[in-house]
Chains A and B, each alone.
Chain A
Amino acid sequence: MKLELRGITKRFGALTANDAISLTVEPGEIHALLGENGAGKSTLMNVLYGLYQADEGSILLDGVEQHFAGPGDAMRAGIGMVHQHFMLIPVFTVAENVMLGHEQTKAIGRLDLAAARARVREISDRFGFDVDPDARVEDLPVGVQQRVEIIKALSRDAKVLVFDEPTAVLTPQETDELIAIMRQLKAAGTSIVFITHKLREVRAVADRVTVIRLGKVVGEADPQSTNAELASLMVGRSVELTVQKEPAKPGDEALVVRNVSVLDPNGQKVVNNVSFEVRRGEILAIAGVQGNGQTEITEALLGLQPHVSGEILLDGKSLIGLPVRKVLDAGVGFVPEDRTEDGLVAEFTIAENLMLNRSTGEPFVKGGTLQLGYLNEFAEQKRKEFDIRTQSVQSHVGRLSGGNQQKVVLARELSRDLRLFVAAQPTRGLDVGSIEFVHTRIVQSRDAGIPVIVVSTELDEVVALADRIAVMYRGSIVGIVPGDTPRDVLGLMMAGEKPTEVAA
């Protein structure tokens, strides 16, 4: 089926998220939509899928104009979507998820589960998916959950499939498998829109590339362009894709983690007997696919996890069992992976957020009262130092862009006297400009002699920053390898394979 978008414009109040975007996808073509976070890719696809109504412009399928009042209309017209955040109900089985919304029923409205199972098996056999129709979705690994999303779309005879950032949650190997699936769908005549900001994948699979910036189409690109060409088109200026850093000059061991295990409330061993150490002036990156224990190990370092066993020593002093306050006082700086949830109080001002973890005494508090004069001076100084783009330090943090919010978190943590710096997913959801800034700051901390742990699921980030890389898989460290380890080796390690030569 041929899909045409003509002059789609979508406004949210004063913000124009999509500005007269036109796009054509031929039958059996993989069309990549490339753009930064916030460029308007997802908005455009939500318009196509009937979740939003466009203010201007039209959608044509095989030349016929369509009007979608909701996703139901879009699906009936043959559009399927594989959402970035899976639209699956975790407590339902695969078959129930696939049938939801177009259930076949027997007498008195009883669900025909047998028919749904057969449908899942049929599609799953056609593409070699190996999905059990009776498995509960929450028990499946993310890669398989994504296949369930694909089956769900195909079970409604989708002729146009939209993949919204599909590789964000996958290991490199799973990504390769997904790319193979996309090729296979293409061969079967399905038109595919592939939304991504990862240049490598675009070059691997796309037939055509449309680049979007700030809600506008800025041009088509040849899929064979170099990374640098695609990136500069995407960002609008030439960008440094690599971080400038000198080789590390590691000093003494600062943080020693020995045989640490973390249990979740149900008794699952989410971190299993993990040991590593970090030296002064080096960056240890913890790589791995989301949900393999990285969150829990960083929370254990900070004292946020209740069931931790083993040994955590910072400069010879044990951190295990200490309340968070004492851990912070011991000089641990922490950038949490979800800045809006754990890093900031959105309704507080920038200045207030900058002193969130320093409310226990001077210079911010004297005799139980806030020293507002000092706080403002401090905040102004940090605003300049960290280039926080805002009208005033009295603005609410919730109003800032993701990049500026992250700068507030960094400013707060790095302005203390640190003896260990832990940054979890420090650039998630940030634009390329902010990523450069954050990376530079992290490298500066390292060069100032602070031991740094960076947790990241983005292989690019890991490779750019790390002096050494620890790869986690299902709660254990698969291996600790040097920072210049090839990506394919890291990819295999992220899927649980031990490296052949483990470097010390």
Chain B
Amino acid sequence: MTAVAATRAPEPALEREAVRSWKVPIALAIFTLVALVLFVALGRDGTSTFRLSTEADAFRLPDLALPTRAGCIVLTVLMAAITAYSVVRSRAARKTPLWLIALFGVLFVVAFLTWASAGAAVPVPGLLVGTLGLSVPLIFGALGGVIGERVGVVNVAIEGQLLAGAFASAVVASVTRQPLIGLIGAMVAGMLVSFVLAAFAIKYLVDQVIVGVVLNVLVTGITSFFFSKVLTPNASVLNSPPKFSRIEIPVLSDIPIIGPALFRQTIIVYVMYVAVALVWFFLFKTRWGLRLRSVGEHPQAADTVGINVARTRFWNVSLAGAIAGFGGAYLTLGAVGSFNKEMTAGAGFIALAAVIFGRWDPLRATLAALLFGFAQNLQNVLSIIGSPVPSEFMLMLPYVVTIVAVAGLVGQSRAPAASGKPYIKS
């Protein structure tokens, strides 16, 4: 058999002429200006100390001491340099590289810490330990969000799934005295929330965002009701779960600075490391992931090759709920030790922001969640060491970081094409 189609020269790419974007330089300039006013004009005198190790460390690094005013000036000058470079890039209609923006962010944070901790000491390992702790529910929530959106259902109910997981794990672990069984309870609870979301969104084609929002309100209401009417009067039986103890991983936990944060943790955190890797692997390397993504991108195409769209969506949304519910268990069994009314405090929504900031990729979403966790913890640490900024103001920090990150840096990243769209088989 002979070839019929003549081979044609490959089509040349369309000519490009970059559209100049001033978003990045303007944002950088604003932050540089803030730095100039806050850290230099309103600069503080004294010495800022960064403590790099704890008492328990095997290898102890010496403390790092910086003269506050000089340090701030140097850092601000560096920020101004990056801003200037970004302006030059934009004039030439070119983009500012992402790593440079990230570096700018790091410089700003270091400058801020230096300024805020004049005359005090910042416990760096403590800052990191706290960051990871606050990030755990965010990361699990974000994994649930990534799976949901990749399969085509916007999982706004992460908040509800986390809260349901926290509640169920507290009650189940208290009754059985087994934290492991509590974890299973958390997954079941998260999955139940997902069932409702999936049923309404997939079967009855109700707007997914509305169902998700309503579910969050519903779970908040139900858990708050049971908390005050049932759990509080019987706290010893129903709301005093055994906590997981920390497991130290030998050698690794002795790595300076990051060791204590990463490897002196409860089993839930170790499961999280595995979960992040597994979700990434299964999403991009396996049949399950290929089908899942196809359903989220072009459900009709998936249907025409014999993939059951509704079933794929239903079970993966359920799985997403189970993962988020597992994250909720960290709040009770890993951190606090008992259930509290509305204890997720918006973590589910920040997880949703991490999904978008992480461009629907489990690894990037995890990094985004860590960033948001860091912002939250920064506020805690600064209120302890006594920063000059009012603590009410600092409470905004995680949300400000979220808005800046999602609105400013995401730009035109592409969501799964069919995310949020019900599939109506015509």
Residues of A within 8 A of B (CB): 49, 51, 70-73, 75, 81, 83, 86-92, 96, 99-103, 105, 108-111, 126-130, 141, 152, 177, 180-181, 183-184, 187-188, 261, 263, 265-270, 272, 307, 474-475
A332 to B294, CA, bound (A): 43
Given contacts A51-B303, A100-B307, A261-B17, 12 further A-B contacts (CB under 8 A): A71-B306, A81-B304, A87-B300, A90-B298, A92-B290, A92-B294, A100-B290, A110-B285, A130-B5, A188-B1, A265-B412, A268-B16
Known: A91-B297, A130-B7, A141-B11. A101 touches B286 (CB 8 A): no
Min CB gap B315→A, angstroms: 15
Q: Does B222 count as interface, using CB distance less than 8 angstroms?
A: no
Contacts A89-B297, A105-B286, A111-B290 hold; do A270 and B4 have CB atoms under 8 A apart?
Answer: no
B30-78 interface (Cβ within 8 A of A): none
- Residue among B12, B16, B282, B298 with most chain A CB within 10 A: B298
Instruction: Report chain B residues within 8 Å CB of A128.
Output: 2-5, 7
Judging by beta carbons under 8 Å apart, are A267 and B3 in contact? Answer: no
Q: Which 7 A-B pairs have the closest CB atoms?
A: A128-B3, A72-B306, A101-B305, A87-B301, A180-B4, A109-B286, A267-B18
Cα separation A99 to B293 with both chains bound (whole Å): 13
Q: Can you name 22 A-B pairs with beta carbons within 8 Å?
A: A72-B307, A81-B304, A87-B305, A89-B293, A89-B294, A89-B302, A100-B291, A100-B301, A101-B305, A103-B290, A109-B282, A109-B286, A110-B286, A130-B7, A141-B11, A266-B19, A266-B412, A267-B17, A270-B14, A272-B14, A272-B15, A474-B11
Complex alpha-carbon distance, A89 and B164, angstroms:
36
- The answer to whether B307 touches A181, judged by C-beta atoms less than 8 angstroms apart, is no
Does B225 touch A at the CB level, under 8 Å?
A: no
How far is A465 from B304 in the complex, measured between Cα atoms in Å? Answer: 39
Return the chain A residue nearest B16 by Cβ. Answer: A267
Q: Are B290 and A70 in contact (CB under 8 A)?
A: no
Residues of A within 8 A of B307 (CB): 72, 100-101
Determine how close the nearest CB of chain A comes to the CB of B420; give it in whole angstroms.
17
- Using A87-B298, A129-B5 as known contacts, say yes or no to A71 and B290 having CB atoms under 8 A apart: no
B residues near A81, Cβ cutoff 8 Å: 304
Contact (Cβ within 8 A) B294 A100:
yes
Is there an interface contact between B287 and A111, defined as CB atoms closer than 8 Å? yes
Question: Which among B2, B285, B300, B306 is the interface contact of A111 at CB below 8 angstroms?
Answer: B285
Say whether B270 faces chain A, with CB atoms less than 8 Å apart.
no
Q: In the complex, A183→B6 CA distance in Å?
A: 15
By the criterion CB–CB under 8 Å, are A127 and B5 in contact?
yes
A93 to B220, CA, bound (A): 43
A113 nearest in chain B by CB position: B285
**B288 close to chain A: CB less than 8 A:** yes
- Is B417 on the interface with A (CB-CB < 8 A)? yes
Q: Output the least CB separation between B363 and chain A (Å).
A: 18
Residues of A within 8 A of B16 (CB): 267-269
Known: A89-B297, A111-B287, A180-B5. A263 touches B302 (CB 8 A): no
Structural contact, A101 and B15, CB atoms closer than 8 A: no
Distance in angstroms between the alpha carbons of A242 and B12 in the assembled complex: 37
Contacting residues, chain A, for B297 (C-beta < 8 A): 89-92
Most buried by A among B7, B285, B306: B306
Nearest chain-B residue to A184 (Cβ)? Answer: B4
The complex places the Cα of A105 from the Cα of B6 at a distance, in Å, of 34
Q: How far is the CA of A270 from the CA of B5 in the complex (A)?
A: 28
A108 touches B302 (CB 8 A): no
**A73 contacts across to B, CB distance below 8 A:** 306
A430 to B365, CA, bound (A): 47
Q: Given the complex of chains A and B, what is the CA–CA distance between A91 and B415 in angstroms?
A: 11
A75 to B306, CA, bound (A): 8
Asked if A101 and B14 sit within 8 Å, CB to CB, the answer is no
User: Which A residues are CB-close (under 8 A) to B306?
Assistant: 70-73, 75, 101-102
Q: Which residues of A contact B288 (CB under 8 A)?
A: 109
- Cross-chain contact B287 with A103 (CB below 8 angstroms): yes
Which residue of chain B has the shortest Cβ distance to A128 in the bound complex? B3
* Chain B residues in 8 Å Cβ range of A307: 19
Q: Which residue of chain B has the shortest Cβ distance to A181 in the bound complex?
A: B4
The residue on B at minimum CB distance from A156 is B305
Tell me the B407-424 residues at the A interface (CB within 8 Å): 412, 414, 417
**Across-interface contacts of A129 in B (CB, < 8 A):** 5
**Known contacts being A71-B306, A265-B412, A269-B16, is A126 close to B1, with CB within 8 Å?**
yes
| Smallest CB gap from B15: residue in A | A269
Chain B nearest CB from A373 CB (Å) reads: 38
Known: A130-B7, A177-B4. A89 touches B287 (CB 8 A): no
**What's the nearest-Cβ distance from chain A to residue B312, in Å?**
11
- The interface residues of chain A lying within 8 Å CB-to-CB of B1 are 126-127, 184, 187-188
Shortest Cβ gap from B15 to chain A (Å):
4
Query: Smallest distance from the beta carbon of B374 to chain A beta carbons, Å?
Result: 31
Residues of B within 8 A of A96 (CB): 290
Contact A88:B286 (CB < 8 A) given known A128-B2, A268-B14: no
Interfacial chain B residues near A102, Cβ < 8 Å: 305-306
Inter-chain contacts of B293 with A (CB < 8 A): 89, 92
B14 touches A475 (CB 8 A): yes
Among the interface residues A103, A108, A187, A267, which one has the most CB atoms of the partner chain B within 10 A?
Answer: A267
Complex CA distance for A108 and B401, rounded to whole angstroms: 39
Q: Which of A92, A180, A183, A269 contacts B17 (CB 8 A)?
A: A269
Q: Which residues of B contact A141 (CB under 8 A)?
A: 11
Question: Which residues of B lie under 8 Å from residue A83 when comparing CB positions?
Answer: 304
